[in-house]
Amino acid sequence: MAILGALPLAFVGLFSYFPQLDLYLSGLSQGDFLRVILSPLSRLAALNSLTQALLSATLAVLVGYPGGLIMARYRFPLKGAFQATAIVPFMLPTVVVATAFTATYGPAGLLGKALPWLSFMADGFTGIIAVNVFYNAPLVMFLVASSIERVDPELLHAASIFGGNRLHYIRRFLLPQTVSGAATGFLFTFLYSFMAFAVPLIVGGPRNFTLEVQIYTLFKQYLDFRGAAALALVQLAGLGAASYFYLSRTIAAAERTPASTGSAFTQEGLSLRRRRASTLSVLMYMAPVGFFLFAPIVGLALESLSGREGWSFDSYARLASTIVTTRLGIPLQSIVFNTVFFAAITSALAVSLGLISAYLTLRVFRSGRKYELFLFLPMMFSPVTTAFALYVALESQPPFNLIWPLIIASHVLVALPLTVRFLSNSLSKVPSELIEAASVSGSSRADALFRVELPLTWAGFVAAGAFAFATSLGEFAATNFLVTPEYTTMTVAVYQLLGLRMTQEAYALSTLLVLASFAIFAVAFRLQEELSLG
């Protein structure tokens, strides 16, 4: 058990803490810290980060929360498609999203042409928030959904017999369970938005630069490595402390709400005939939100189809041609293979390590919170320094000099906090009595895990796996830093195509990325539905 528990710790320790600390602690002095803290630019950057993060997180939760409730409680046609659409933004490179937004909401865009006031969505501070919400509201949805236990219809009946109505039940049982999901969604969105690099710059312009940008600038342009490291440490300390307090309070609060011992998995089906009020309110939510999530993707697709002379599939044709292969130095199918391979391995690793962590935190350790925080902290390491630190610390040691293990490692590091959360949520919803019943019936801990807990937590697996996969597909910064030509992934290829001025092809590739992943996720979520109907 202890050896197993050490695995995720070792992984994160080796790939994240060790390189970072190595980099940070080499020769930083007090003067360095003072210098960066006192700089007005640093303070402005911090303020920008904070306002963008707070606003994005709040809006993302407001937008995503109802979606999460809907996803957990109802079955409806095209649900898998909706979920897949929701997760797709996670994978898109920033410039693609920015362009997609412009293509949709910009003055010359799909909608912008008819409704010019929409341009606030694609530009400036408001544009930054819009894009952040686009990226993160789906994550909030999934986190909230995963924190709700499936409703036991008997409990509902019992509640109504005792005088409460459905609303009462919702208020007393359902909603408290979702607090932890919403809180986690808030935290993740906050962190992602706080540490955003490209989104604020492309969409908002130089005055919206975040702390991460400032670290980057110190690192690359001022070549002030110590300053960059100092600032990164300050950011880490601040975010780390805030996250710790936030996490302990919200998770503790959530753990105090009673878990009902639902013995059924049924979700309600929706139909206009039978449950008019519910169905209508669901539609009222899904229409605008679904639209918000889907429109930019349509914009992107259209972007890829527009040539100089109007619509054409030329860009796709060229993408498949040998010209692209030669100029990129690697065939398209290899790029696709690399991408899928990395994503699959990342998913498998992130889910396994996440499962170990979640299980240990929930079932074994008393101070599980510290364990989870250890795994969580790397989220707050500056991405700019992460890839570089990884390279410097490990590149020369075999087998890492093959580079591709490092790429996978960096992907897993990014995905791990997410998978741990999803699996944690799922595992914690298994009534402890079932595990006790299993124990008393002769199951060892492992046996109970595999035969009772895991089968009841498929939803968590799929969500964890899907997000890990999506994260890997969309990871750009670290991959771009580490990659060698033969390991190019699709997101890196998009930027390379842009560099080669094959702009339409770049957007075409992005659209393909979107469509392919959409298909994969739609299937995965449909499967999840099937499995959980038990």
Partner 1 sequence: MRGWRLALLMVGILLIASVTGFYFISGGPRGGESSLTIYTYGSLFKYGDDPNATYAAVFGAFERQYNVNITVRYFSDAGDIIPALLSERNSPKADLVIGLTSVLAAKAKQENLLQPYAPPSLSKVPTYLVNDLDPDHYVVPYEYGLIAIDIDGSYINESAYPSIGSLSYEDLRAPALASSLLVENPATSSVGQDFLLSQIVFYQQVLKSDWKPWWRSVRDYVKVVPGWDDAFGIFSSANTNYHMVVSFGTDPAYSAYFNYTMYRTVVPQHNGTMYGWLQIEGMGIVNNAPHADTAKAFEEWMLSDVVQNLIPLNEWVYPAVSTVQLPDVYKFAIDPSKVSILNNLVPTSQLAQNLPQWLEEWQSIMAGS
Partner 2 sequence: MVELTARGITVRYGRTFALKDVSLEIQDGELLVLLGPSGCGKTTLLRALAGLVELSSGRVIMGDEDVTALHPSRRRIGMVFQTTALFPHLDVFGNVSYPLEARQEDKARMKDKVREALALVRLEGVEDRFPHELSGGQRQRVALARALVADPRALLLDEPLSSVDARLRDELRLEVQRIQRALRITTVYVTHDHEEAFLVADRIAVMSGGRVVQVGRPREIEASPSTSFVAWFIGYNVVKDRAGGGLIAFRRNDAVISAPPASGLIGTLVSLTRGKNDWSAVVDVGTETIQVTLDDAKAGELEWSVGKQVSLQVQNELRFPEPESKER
- Give the interface with partner 2 as residue ranges (CB under 8 A): 261-266, 431, 433-434, 436-445, 447, 451-452, 455-456, 534
Residue from 135, 481, 521, 525 in contact with partner 1 (CB under 8 A): 481
* Shortest distance, position 359 Cβ to partner 2, whole Å: 17
How far is the CA of 247 from the CAs of 101, 175, 239, 368, 369, in angstroms? 33, 18, 12, 12, 8
Q: How far is the CB of 441 from partner 2 (least distance, A)?
A: 4
For the bound state, the minimum distance from the C-beta of residue 204 to partner 1, rounded and expressed in Å, comes to 10
Task: Tell me how far, at minimum, the Cβ of 189 lies from partner 2, in Å.
Answer: 33
- Closest approach of partner 2 to the CB of residue 465, in Å: 19
Chosen from partner 2, partner 1, none, partner binding at 216 (C-beta under 5 to 8 Å by type): partner 1
Residues 181-210 that bind partner 1 (CB under 8 A): 197-198, 201-202, 205-207, 209
User: Cα separation of 534 and 526, whole Å?
Assistant: 14
Choosing from 60, 98, 409, 490, the residue that interacts with partner 1 (CB under 8 A) is 98
d(CA 427, CA 224): 46
Q: d(Cα 93, Cα 91) in Å, to the nearest integer?
A: 7
How many angstroms from the chain centroid is the CA of residue 389?
23
Query: Distance between CA 65 and CA 59 in Å, rounded?
Result: 10
Strand-strand pairing, 310-311 and 306-307: antiparallel
Cβ of residue 417: shortest distance to partner 1, in angstroms?
Answer: 22
Judged by CB under 8 A, which stretch of 212-220, 259-267, 363-371, 419-427 contacts partner 1?
212-220
Residue 487 in contact with partner 1, rule: CB under 8 A = yes
Nearer Cβ to partner 2 (79/429) = 429
Q: Which pair of tokens denotes residue 283? A: 């539609």
Contact 384, 452 (CB under 8 A): no
**99 touches, from partner 1, partner 2, none (C-beta below 5 to 8 Å by class):** partner 1
For partner 1, the closer of residues 257 and 480 by Cβ is 480
* Burial per residue of 160-171, b for 16 or more beta-carbon CB atoms within 10 angstroms, e otherwise: eeeebeeeebbe
Termini Cα distance of the chain? 30
By C-alpha distance, which of 310, 344, 304 is closest to 465?
A: 344
Binding partner of 256, given partner 1, partner 2, none, CB within 5-8 angstroms per partner class: none
| 112, 122 Cβ separation under 8 angstroms | yes
Residue spans of beta strands (DSSP E) within 289-383: 306-307, 310-311
Site string for partner 1, 372-391 (x = CB under 8 A): ----------------x--x
Task: Report the C-alpha gap between 218 and 41 in whole angstroms.
Answer: 11
Return the residue of 401, 432, 441, 444 that touches partner 1, per CB under 8 A.
401
Q: Can residue 392 be called a binding residue for partner 1 (CB under 8 A)? A: yes
Q: What are the beta bridge partners of residue 306?
A: 311
Q: Pick the binder of partner 1 from 495, 518, 526, 532 (CB under 8 A).
A: 495
Q: Is the dihedral of CA 89, 94, 97, 98 positive or negative?
A: positive
Residue 160's contacts (CB-CB under 8 Å, 6 or more residues apart) are: 166, 169
Angle at 294 (CA atoms; ends 293, 296), nearest 5 degrees: 90
Stretch that binds partner 1, among 38-46, 76-84, 245-253, 267-275 (CB under 8 A): 38-46
CB 154 within 8 A of CB 13: no
CB of 84 to partner 1, least distance (A): 24
Query: Least distance to partner 2 from the beta carbon of 447, Å?
Result: 6
Do the Cβ atoms of 298 and 482 come closer than 8 Å? no
Q: Shortest Cβ distance from residue 533 to partner 2 (Å)?
A: 10
- Whole-angstrom CA distances from 110 to 135, 298, 318, 459 are 20, 9, 25, 36
- In 3D space, the residue among 478, 497, 490, 488 whose CA is nearest the CA of residue 330 turns out to be 488
Total number of residues that touch partner 1 (CB under 8 A): 70
Query: Which stretch of DSSP H or E encloses residue 284?
Result: helix 276-305
525 binds partner 1 (CB under 8 A): no
Nearer to partner 2, 110 or 427 (CB): 427
Interaction of residue 345 with partner 1, rule CB under 8 A: yes
**Does residue 379 contact residue 236 with C-beta atoms inside 8 Å?**
no
Q: What values do phi and psi take at 128, rounded to 5?
A: -60, -50
Closest distance to partner 2 from the beta carbon of 455 (Å): 5
Give yes or no for residue 397 binding partner 1 (CB under 8 A): no
Q: Does 216 bind partner 1 (CB under 8 A)?
A: yes
To partner 1, the closest distance from the beta carbon of 410 in angstroms equals: 13
What tokens appear for 321 in the block? Answer: 């041609």
Stretch that binds partner 1, among 128-136, 422-430, 490-498, 525-533 (CB under 8 A): 490-498
Q: Does 213 bind partner 1 (CB under 8 A)?
A: yes
In the complex with partner 2, the residue whose CB is nearer, 39 or 439, is 439
Chain residues that interact with partner 1, rule: CB under 8 A: 39-41, 44, 95, 98-99, 102-103, 106-109, 197-198, 201-202, 205-207, 209, 213, 216-217, 219-225, 303, 306-308, 326-329, 341, 344-345, 348, 388, 391-392, 396, 398-399, 401-402, 404, 450-451, 480-481, 483-487, 495-496, 498-501, 503, 506-507
